[in-house]
Structure 1
Amino acid sequence: MKNLVYILPDKDGGVASVVRNLLRFRTNRCKAKVVLIHNTMDDPLLRVQDEFNADEIIRINYNGKWSSKQGVMNKIKRHLDNNSILISNDGGIELEVVNNLNFTIPVVYIMHGDYDHYFNCINEQGHLIDTIITVSDYLMEKIESNFENKDTFSKIDVVSVKFPVPLTIDNDKEKVRAKIIRVAFVGALIEDKGVLLFKNILTQLTELKINFIFNIIGAGPLEEKLMKELQSFSNVNFKGKLTNQEVISLHSEHDILILPSYGEGLPVSIVEAMKCGVIPIATNLKSGIPELIEDGVTGYTVPLDEIEKYGKFIKYLDNNRDEMAVISHKCISKAESMFKPYIQTKAYEDVFINTKPHAFMKTKNYNLMNFLPFTLANRINNLKNIYGK
């Protein structure tokens, strides 16, 4: 029996949610293993807390200064055999380990977002990848136009598959609305998520005399800064980091989700909110959000330089509660039709199982730089880039 080996950073968020749901609704066709990789220099508050429905869960720790790439790869290698299908969710070390194996296995790369990191991995390590899965149609099209080595790209299968998201509420039960408008944010408290725009947005809502509460769900390095910035707003609640099930349960108390991000793929937080009838208002990023949000139908999108529109749309929904109920139901319907948990999980597993390794594309080589501590290796590489040697 094949063994699906999901490798991902030990950071909670959208990537972990996708893998969690793929395992929650898995079939019995394969075994499943999760390998979580953690840089001990990263914020421990961001680590994955709840477990995965896997046969085995491995946590690999390394130090981003003093460990070596080869040392990390050796730890990963121990959990791979010739029955493995490697499912990379980040790239980098977990892909390079393929060059260190004495056997050939299928390699699937899941592209979760419209970030340079993913495109750089694909261009630099595409020869190690057999199949790429993108979470949105836009990302699949963008890969095709951005892949630098057309010969390598022609040997890789690229497919777009929507990820599974569980049914979160009873669709026959009317969502209970309160007189106060209930707004939420779900995500890591980092700058890329647009959290430093909260003060501006909340000031708008206050000036528009909207009676609201704002629940901030998540943790991260900007939490303390945000608490200070928003301490004058008595209607702001920091809920901290919650489990996936706790977030879904809390959505029964929300009307609107805001996501003023600077970069996304196809946000799991929006899909989960929509399945709960929570209306999303998000940045109009091309990466996947337009596949979810049709303006005025299943939510609203906001240009990066027009954050005043958050207040405008929230005010409109607050004043038009019947319309808010209609949009809420359309959110549920769209999310349910696109993200069926068992169907989408089977679609992913079909891709995994049917991926064939392109053995001739893999090159077995050992780079002496991999044996150096990360700090020293990075300094040498920087000097090479400066002096062109």
Structure 2
Amino acid sequence: MRATEILLIGPAGKQTGGIARYIHEQRRRLGDGARVYDVAVPDSETPLQFLRAALLALAQLVQFPFRRPPDVVHVHTSHWYSFFQSSAYILYAASVWRVPVVLHVHGSSFDTFVDTESRLLGAFQSFVFARCTTVVVLSDYWSDVVADRVDPAKLFVLPNAVDPTDYDPRYGASPPHVVFVSNHIERKGVAEFVAAVDDLLEAGARMQVTIAGSGPLSHLAEELAARRAAVTYEGYVSETRKRELLNEGSVFVLPTHAENLPIALLEAMAGGNALVSTTVGAIPSLVDDDNGVLVAPGDEVALRGALSSLLADPTRIESMARTSRARAEREYSWRTAVDSLEGLYAELAH
């Protein structure tokens, strides 16, 4: 019997971002039956850059009908521009190719995107969702978010995934090793993290801190590392170096203001870290009292208190870190995700 042929559509060519990483791993693990159609466009800050990105997106769309129709189309989307771009491929695949379409919802602000007061936008969202055979969401929280736009029978909950075998946790660092790896933008909470670490070190806290990543707020990390011997700023790091940092880490901190179900936290769990994050999106489905601490987004005082309580109890840190690792192996492995995807594809294609 011929293997089911899957066409994955999304911004696979992006250098950073959870969707691109997910598509890469999904393609690799599904094997020869999966193909990728890359719809990534450069980020744009000026009118000229926007025009170039728009022309590239148009060229991608014009070329798309000349591809061989697959058995199933799997579209990865986020909010706003990503959703509008994805809708063209969804409508073509469903109406012209007449093949099953899986829409996979990512995006830190997809909840605010669907919670719109615009009747026109809401109607368009419902129209696009109606053309999908299945809508994949990352948690029960996100299932509730899209419930007003999607037939519940179409919803399929599938968390993000990580391969725990790519990580080799090293527990018991002394002093505890606190790690931050993310884009240095306001939404990721880097400013609150830097302020909390600075205050804790001023108060005499014992810890080693490594900050990685880059962005418009990187000067905060650079300045902190310049005045605090316990802090190292590494800038943008490779995937290999990122895994090393997570293996070496004791506590991974992601004080994000908005998120879906971040792959960064799953990677930190696989690397054996206690987690400090926020109560946004589906993060509470990953983090509880057994493997970390959650605080309100933007609350630097609460973040400082969470870190202080953990640093005072290394035994608690290690217990949480081992729980994170076990949970990643049990609930969020790529093996489990691929089994679910292959079962879904088989059901849709036959």
Normalising by structure 2, we get a TM-score of 0.82
Q: Larger helix proportion, structure 1 or 2?
A: 2
State the distance in 2 between where 1:100 and 1:304 align: 39
Task: Kindly provide the amino acid, as one letter, of the partner of residue 227 in structure 1.
Answer: E
Which aligned segments of 4 or more residues in structure 1 are displaced greater than 6 angstroms? none
Task: Kindly provide the amino acid, as one letter, of the partner of residue 134 in structure 2.
Answer: T
Shift, 1:350, TM fit:
2.0
State the distance in 1 between where 2:298 and 2:44 align: 31
Relative distance call for 1:320 and 1:107 in structure 2 (3 A) is same
| Alpha carbons 1:77, 1:97 under 8 Å: kept | no
| Alpha carbons 1:293, 1:301 under 8 Å: kept | yes
- Secondary structure of the equivalent of 1:264? coil
**Residue matched to 2:65:** 77
Give matches, 1:325-364, under 5 Å: 325-355=318-348
Structure with higher Rg: it is 1
**Residue matched to 2:145:** 142
- Secondary structure of the equivalent of 2:97? coil
Task: Kindly provide the amino acid, as one letter, of the partner of residue 245 in structure 2.
Answer: L
State the distance in 2 between where 1:163 and 1:266 align: 7
- Secondary structure of the equivalent of 2:326? helix
Give matches, 1:313-328, under 5 Å: 313-328=306-321
- Secondary structure of the equivalent of 1:301? strand
**Residue matched to 2:98:** 104
- Secondary structure of the equivalent of 1:86? strand
**Which residues of structure 1 form unaligned runs of 5+?**
44-61, 148-152, 358-389
- Secondary structure of the equivalent of 2:272? coil
State the distance in 2 between where 1:321 and 1:225 align: 27
| Alpha carbons 2:171, 2:250 under 8 Å: kept | no
Relative distance call for 1:159 and 1:253 in structure 2 (3 A) is same
**Residue matched to 2:269:** 274
**Residue matched to 1:4:** 6
Relative distance call for 1:194 and 1:124 in structure 2 (3 A) is farther
| Alpha carbons 2:171, 2:272 under 8 Å: kept | no
Shift, 1:329, TM fit:
1.4
State the distance in 1 between where 2:329 and 2:265 align: 12
| Alpha carbons 1:130, 1:155 under 8 Å: kept | no
State the distance in 2 between where 1:170 and 1:221 align: 30
| Alpha carbons 1:283, 1:302 under 8 Å: kept | yes
CA deviation digits over 1:263-295, x for unaligned, max 9?
Answer: 11111111111122111100111x211111112
**Residue matched to 2:194:** 199
State the distance in 2 between where 1:7 and 1:233 align: 45
Match of 1:18 among 22, 33, 48: 22
Shift, 1:226, TM fit:
4.6
Relative distance call for 1:217 and 1:352 in structure 2 (3 A) is farther
Relative distance call for 1:98 and 1:275 in structure 2 (3 A) is closer
Give matches, 1:57-72, under 5 Å: 64-66=50-52, 67-68=54-55, 70-72=58-60
Task: Kindly provide the amino acid, as one letter, of the partner of residue 235 in structure 2.
Answer: G
**Residue matched to 2:157:** 160
State the distance in 1 between where 2:349 and 2:152 align: 11
State the distance in 2 between where 1:271 and 1:94 align: 26
State the distance in 2 between where 1:219 and 1:124 align: 38
Shift, 1:138, TM fit:
0.8
**Which residues of structure 2 form unaligned runs of 5+?**
78-82, 115-120
Relative distance call for 1:232 and 1:265 in structure 2 (3 A) is same
Counting aligned pairs with the same residue, the percent is: 19
- Secondary structure of the equivalent of 1:204? helix
Task: Kindly provide the amino acid, as one letter, of the partner of residue 234 in structure 2.
Answer: K
- Secondary structure of the equivalent of 1:238? strand
Relative distance call for 1:64 and 1:292 in structure 2 (3 A) is same
| Alpha carbons 1:267, 1:289 under 8 Å: kept | yes
Q: CA RMSD in A?
A: 2.9
Relative distance call for 1:274 and 1:100 in structure 2 (3 A) is closer
Bigger relative contact order, structure 1 or 2, given CA contacts below 8 A and separation 6+? 1
Match of 1:212 among 181, 187, 207: 207
Task: Kindly provide the amino acid, as one letter, of the partner of residue 298 in structure 1.
Answer: N
CA deviation digits over 1:358-382, x for unaligned, max 9?
Answer: xxxxxxxxxxxxxxxxxxxxxxxxx
**Residue matched to 2:134:** 131
**Residue matched to 2:175:** 180
